C-alpha cells in the first residue's frame, strides 16, 4: 500500500475508535514534507511518504495520534528557552507515549517509553533527563516501545523490520514523531502574547474534543482533558484550562444528526454534532481589595471571555467586591466582557453570595477571583450557595469560619 492509501485508512480508524484524537486531527493539515518520519509544529502534521509506507495502518494511526497529542499538550509552544530541541523531543515523547499505549494505540518499535515517567510533565522529565545524563542528552536504547509485532495484512504492513531502522532518527533525538516550535508564517518566533493566545485556543479545542469523545460513548472515562491540563502544572498553572475542565460536567449538550459534524463527512462518516444549551447565568466575582493588579485583571478578562464563549450562558454577571459589593455589571450572551477595577478597601467574601440570594439569581456557576486572603464568616451568609463555586486564587486558600467549606479551589502559580 502507498502513503495515499495508508493515511486515509489510519484517519478512518481514528474517527471510528478515538473521537478525541479525531477532533484534534481535523484541525491540522496533513502535508508531505522532507522529514524523516512525521513531525508537527501545531498547524500541520508533516509526513515522509517513504517512511509511512514501511509501517502498518495501526502504527501510522498511532503516530498520527502521537502528533495530535504533542499539539494538545502545547509542546510546540512550551519548550523552555534553556532546553535544546533534542532533549525537549525526548521528554515530550516520554510524557505522551505511555498514555497512548494505555489507551490502545499501536506504536512503531523504537519509540521512547518508560513507566517511570507516567504522569510526569514534559518539563519535569527534562530536568530528570538532564540530571541523569549531565550532558543534555538521554540514553534512549533501553527505554523504547515494544516491537509492533504482527499485524493484519488488510491493515497494510509492508515491512516488519522497518520499525527498527535507526535511519529515521534525526536531530530531534527521537526515532519518529517529532515536535517543532511553532512559528509565524514568516518563520519568526511567536511573541508571548501570541503563545498565550494559541494556548487559549488549544484549551478550547481540547475541551471540545473531550466533549465529543464523552458524547460518543466510545472513550469512556478516558480523562484526556484532565491529563492534559494537569500536565501544565510544572511551571505555570493554566487555571483557565483547569476551570474549563471543572465546568465540563455541568454543561448540558444536545446531540443532533440534523447537522452532522462536517469535519468527518468527507471521510464518509456521519457523526452527530453537539449544541451547547443555554444554561443560566455565569457569575464572576472580582476581589478588588487590592488583591489583583491591573495587568492580572486584564489577563483574567481574556480568559473569562474564553470560558463564556465555551459555556455559552444566557448572560454574565460581574460583581466587584472588597468588603462590600462596590459595582455590578451585566452582559448578555453576545456582549464582550470588560473588567474594570472598583473599590480598594478591605476584604469580605460573603457579600457577593448575599447579593445573588437577595436578587433571586440562580447562577450556572460562580467564579471568584481573589488572592485568597480573607474569610467566609458563616453568620454573614444569608444562605450557603447550592450552585458550583470556584475560588481562583493567586496566593492562598480562603478561610471558612462557623460554616462548612464550599467550592473548588483552583490555584494560580505566581
Which band of pLDDT confidence, cut at 50, 70 and 90, is reported for residue 236? very low
In this structure, are residues 14 and 155 in contact, taking their beta carbons and an 8 Å threshold? no
In this structure, are residues 79 and 85 in contact, taking their beta carbons and an 8 Å threshold? yes
Instruction: Give the model's pLDDT for residue 154.
Output: 36
Instruction: Give the model's pLDDT for residue 267.
Output: 54
Rounded CA-CA distance 98/245 in Å is 22
Mean pLDDT is highest, among 134-148, 231-245, 362-376, for: 362-376
pLDDT in tens, 202-211: 877 887 787 7
Of residues 38, 56, 57, the one with CA closest to residue 48: 38
Tell me the average pLDDT across 252-280: 54
pLDDT in tens, 22-71: 999 989 999 999 999 999 999 999 999 999 999 999 999 999 999 999 99
Q: Above 90 in pLDDT, residue 250? A: no
Q: Above 60 in pLDDT, residue 414? A: no
SS3 letters for 13-61?
A: HHHHHCHHHHHHHCCCEEEECCCCCEEECCCEEEECHHHHCCCCHHHHH
3-class DSSP assignment, residue 181: coil
Backbone angles phi, psi at 192, to 5 degrees: -60, -40
Of residues 413, 405, 374, 403, the one with CA closest to residue 389: 405
Lowest mean pLDDT segment, chosen from 13-17, 88-92, 267-271 = 267-271
Domain residue ranges of the chain, discontinuous segments joined by +: 3-220, 278-411
Lowest mean pLDDT segment, chosen from 105-114, 218-227, 287-296, 298-307 = 218-227
Rounded CA-CA distance 108/60 in Å is 8
Instruction: Give the model's pLDDT for residue 321.
Output: 93
Q: Above 50 in pLDDT, residue 161? A: no
Which band of pLDDT confidence, cut at 50, 70 and 90, is reported for residue 164? very low
Mean pLDDT is highest, among 28-37, 255-264, 304-313, 370-379, for: 28-37
Instruction: Give the model's pLDDT for residue 215.
Output: 74
User: Which grid cell sits at 30?
Assistant: 496533513
Q: Above 60 in pLDDT, residue 218? A: yes
Between 136 and 84, the more confident residue is 84
Instruction: Give the model's pLDDT for residue 41.
Output: 96
Q: What percent of the chain has pLDDT over 70?
A: 74
pLDDT in tens, 384-410: 899 999 999 888 888 999 999 999 888
Q: Above 60 in pLDDT, residue 338? A: yes
Q: Above 80 in pLDDT, residue 229? A: no
In this structure, are residues 101 and 58 in contact, taking their beta carbons and an 8 Å threshold? no
Rounded CA-CA distance 374/95 in Å is 38
In this structure, are residues 107 and 97 in contact, taking their beta carbons and an 8 Å threshold? yes
Q: Above 90 in pLDDT, residue 344? A: no
Q: What percent of the chain has pLDDT over 90?
A: 41
pLDDT in tens, 266-276: 555 555 555 55
Rounded CA-CA distance 224/227 in Å is 5
Instruction: Give the model's pLDDT for residue 257.
Output: 52
Contacts of 35 (CB under 8 A, 6+ apart): 46, 47, 48, 170, 178
Mean pLDDT, the chain, integer: 80
What is the reported pTM? 0.57
Q: Above 60 in pLDDT, residue 241? A: yes
Q: Above 50 in pLDDT, residue 372? A: yes
Instruction: Give the model's pLDDT for residue 69.
Output: 95
Q: Above 50 in pLDDT, residue 141? A: no
Rounded CA-CA distance 370/98 in Å is 37
Amino acid at each position: 500500500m502507498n502513503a495515499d492509501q495508508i493515511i486515509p485508512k489510519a484517519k478512518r480508524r481514528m474517527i471510528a475508535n478515538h473521537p478525541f484524537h479525531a477532533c484534534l486531527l481535523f484541525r491540522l493539515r496533513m502535508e508531505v514534507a522532507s522529514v524523516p518520519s512525521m513531525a508537527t509544529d501545531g498547524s500541520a502534521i508533516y509526513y515522509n511518504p517513504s517512511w509511512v509506507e514501511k509501517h502498518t495502518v495501526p502504527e501510522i494511526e498511532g503516530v498520527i495520534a502521537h502528533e495530535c497529542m504533542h499539539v494538545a499538550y502545547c509542546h510546540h509552544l512550551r519548550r523552555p528557552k534553556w532546553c535544546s530541541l533534542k532533549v525537549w523531543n525526548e521528554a515530550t515523547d516520554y510524557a505522551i507515549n505511555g498514555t497512548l499505549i494505555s489507551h490502545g494505540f499501536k506504536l512503531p518499535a523504537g519509540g521512547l517509553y518508560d513507566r517511570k515517567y507516567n504522569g510526569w510533565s514534559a518539563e519535569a522529565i527534562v530536568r530528570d533527563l538532564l540530571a541523569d545524563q549531565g550532558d543534555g542528552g538521554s540514553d534512549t536504547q533501553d527505554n523504547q516501545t515494544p516491537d509492533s509485532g504482527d499485524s493484519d495484512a488488510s491493515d497494510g504492513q509492508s515491512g516488519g523490520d522497518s520499525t527498527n531502522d535507526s535511519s529515521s532518527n534525526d536531530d530531534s533525538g527521537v526515532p519518529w514523531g517529532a515536535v517543532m516550535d511553532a512559528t509565524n508564517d514568516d518563520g519568526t518566533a511567536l511573541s508571548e502574547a501570541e503563545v498565550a493566545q494559541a494556548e487559549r485556543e488549544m484549551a478550547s479545542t481540547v475541551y471540545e474534543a473531550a466533549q465529543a469523545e464523552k458524547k460518543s460513548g466510545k472513550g469512556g472515562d478516558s480523562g484526556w482533558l484532565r491529563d492534559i491540563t494537569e500536565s501544565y502544572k510544572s511551571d505555570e498553572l493554566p487555571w483557565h484550562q483547569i476551570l474549563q475542565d471543572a465546568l465540563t460536567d455541568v454543561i448540558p449538550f444536545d446531540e443532533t444528526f440534523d447537522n452532522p459534524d462536517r469535519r468527518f463527512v468527507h471521510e464518509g462518516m456521519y457523526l452527530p454534532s453537539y449544541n451547547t444549551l443555554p444554561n443560566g447565568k455565569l457569575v464572576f466575582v472580582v476581589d478588588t481589595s487590592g488583591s489583583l493588579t491591573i495587568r492580572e485583571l486584564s489577563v483574567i478578562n481574556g480568559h473569562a471571555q474564553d470560558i463564556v464563549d465555551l459555556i455559552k450562558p444566557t448572560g454574565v454577571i460581574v460583581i466587584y467586591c472588597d468588603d462590600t459589593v462596590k459595582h455590578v455589571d451585566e452582559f448578555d450572551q453576545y456582549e464582550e466582557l470588560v473588567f474594570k477595577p472598583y473599590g480598594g478597601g478591605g476584604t469580605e467574601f460573603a457579600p457577593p453570595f448575599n447579593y445573588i440570594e437577595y436578587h433571586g439569581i440562580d447562577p450556572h456557576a460562580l467564579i471568584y477571583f481573589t488572592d485568597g486572603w480573607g474569610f467566609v464568616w458563616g453568620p454573614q451568609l444569608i444562605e450557603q450557595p447550592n450552585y458550583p463555586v470556584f475560588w481562583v486564587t493567586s496566593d492562598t486558600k480562603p478561610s471558612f469560619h462557623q460554616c462548612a467549606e464550599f467550592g473548588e479551589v483552583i490555584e494560580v502559580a505566581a
